[in-house]
């Protein structure tokens, strides 16, 4: 009997888990991803804040499946899905791929709530390219400030704004504060990087709204102690180059990062099925697309309410569970579908293992099994869980060594600026200090920045 063909779109947590679970099942798999690597997104902020190098949180997809014979990896991007004819069109392929089963796990992208023009001035954090761009911008800002005579301009260069008080925003703001106050302080002579201003802006009345209020308050206090200015209950009105307008206040900043929302890629609109407001696919209880039992959506792209009525969050453990569930459904049906049609399927049940966010050195919050953790215990939990979920033994060792080194020395080893264009380091007009005026920094050298 001809083996059924499964096409998997996306090499994220759900896609990889699905493919690995089907390694010994008589099914032919084609895995399509526009990148050649699996990305561990929870640690992207550490690349953006110079804590880790990009290769340490990514692993080649082909390497993951080098010993699995039933899978074919294609580096390409899906541009259209025809549910009626069961085909997927790819950007670089002349002919579409036909499938017997389709699993969509393409993830989500940064969403600006209809203000897409803000993206030019406030990039999001969803890819390695995003992370390295942010790292470059942050480090360049301090380099420009070192050579800038104008106090107002220097103040702007040493100001960063993170919009969005969820886990990503909290982690970025805390990391930026630690860089300024500890990591870079010994590296510059003309500026005092501890005078840098870090803003975290959240429209809701508290940070980390998905957590208990006590954890939110702990997070606010810890960030404030790190030197972060936490602004809650204020919605961004406009973002232009170097400016964040909060209505009654305009913050001028060299670095503006958007961590306030996500939305589905445009591909979901080609399906002709019901989507939620963010473009995510609304799925049935078995994770299949309504009316198309051969098509599944999983991970962040799926809007799913599980068997017990829980709305499944966009977290790594949830994506892994979804991938495993789809694999079980397909395994149960291989060899049966052609003879008897689709059997009664097991409904997806999400097992909530909890969630966590790191704030800074030895500080984190975690919620699991009805219990709440803060401080060092939560931080150690965060370290262990993230190391466990990293793909690749080399990545685990490299990240562990980097974290150990950073903890002992207050150093970050990925402070390399790349991608500078032919115009040099200074991308915006600033008043430069003459080279022969360079001098050792004195205690009062930066009083005008504070």
For the annotated catalytic residues, the residue numbers are 171
Contact indicator for 134, 123 with CB cutoff of 8 Å: yes
162 burial level (CB within 10 Å; 0-12, 13-18, 19+): buried
**Calpha distance 40→48 (Å, rounded):** 13
DSSP 370: T
Three-class DSSP category at 337: helix
**Calpha distance 390→58 (Å, rounded):** 8
Query: CA dihedral in degrees (303, 305, 306, 310; nearest 10)?
Result: 120
Q: How many residues does the chain have?
A: 450
Contact indicator for 88, 104 with CB cutoff of 8 Å: no
| Residue 186 half-sphere exposure toward CB, CA atoms < 13 A | 6
**123's tokens:** 């990039």
Query: CA dihedral in degrees (175, 370, 202, 180; nearest 10)?
Result: -10
**Calpha distance 38→36 (Å, rounded):** 7
**Calpha distance 365→139 (Å, rounded):** 28
**422's tokens:** 């032919």
DSSP 20: H
């Amino acid at each position: 009997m001809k083996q059924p063909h499964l096409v998997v779109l996306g090499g994220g947590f759900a896609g990889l888990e699905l493919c690995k679970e089907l390694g010994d099942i008589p099914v032919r798999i084609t895995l399509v991803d526009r990148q050649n690597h699996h990305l561990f997104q929870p640690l992207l902020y550490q690349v953006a804040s110079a804590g880790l190098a990009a290769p340490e949180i990514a692993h080649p997809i082909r390497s993951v499946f080098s010993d699995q014979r039933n899978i074919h990896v294609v580096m390409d991007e899906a541009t259209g899905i025809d549910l009626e004819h069961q085909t997927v069109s790819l950007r670089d392929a002349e002919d579409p791929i036909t499938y017997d089963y389709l699993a969509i796990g393409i993830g989500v992208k940064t969403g600006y709530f209809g203000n897409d023009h803000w993206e030019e001035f406030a990039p999001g954090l969803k890819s390695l390219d995003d992370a390295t761009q942010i790292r470059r911008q942050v480090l360049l800002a301090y380099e420009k400030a070192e050579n800038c005579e104008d106090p107002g301009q220097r103040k702007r260069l040493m100001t960063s704004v993170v919009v969005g008080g969820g886990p990503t925003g909290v982690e970025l703001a805390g990391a930026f504060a630690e860089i300024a106050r500890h990591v870079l302080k010994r590296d510059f002579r003309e500026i005092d990087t501890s005078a840098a201003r870090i803003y975290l802006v959240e429209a809701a009345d508290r940070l980390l709204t998905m957590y208990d209020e006590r954890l939110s308050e702990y997070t606010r206090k810890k960030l404030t102690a790190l030197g972060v200015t936490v602004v809650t209950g204020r919605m961004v009105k406009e973002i232009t180059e170097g400016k964040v307008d909060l209505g009654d206040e305009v913050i001028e900043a060299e670095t503006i990062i958007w961590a306030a929302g996500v939305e589905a890629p445009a591909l979901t609109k080609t399906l002709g099925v019901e989507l939620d407001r963010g473009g995510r696919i609304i799925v049935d209880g078995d994770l299949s697309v309504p009316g198309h039992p051969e098509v599944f959506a999983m991970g962040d792209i799926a809007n799913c309410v599980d068997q017990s009525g829980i709305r499944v969050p966009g977290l790594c453990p949830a994506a892994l569970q979804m991938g495993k569930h789809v694999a079980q459904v397909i395994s149960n049906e291989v060899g049966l579908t052609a003879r008897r049609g689709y059997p009664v399927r097991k409904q997806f049940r999400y097992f909530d293992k909890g969630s966590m966010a790191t704030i800074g050195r030895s500080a984190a919050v975690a919620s699991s099994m009805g219990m709440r953790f803060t401080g060092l215990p939560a931080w150690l939990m965060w370290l262990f869980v993230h190391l466990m979920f990293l793909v690749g033994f080399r990545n685990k060792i490299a990240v562990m060594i980097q974290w150990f080194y950073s903890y002992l020395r207050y150093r970050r080893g990925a402070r390399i600026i790349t991608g500078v264009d032919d115009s040099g380091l200074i991308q915006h007009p600033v008043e430069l200090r003459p080279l022969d005026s360079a001098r050792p920094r004195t205690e009062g050298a930066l009083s005008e920045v504070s």
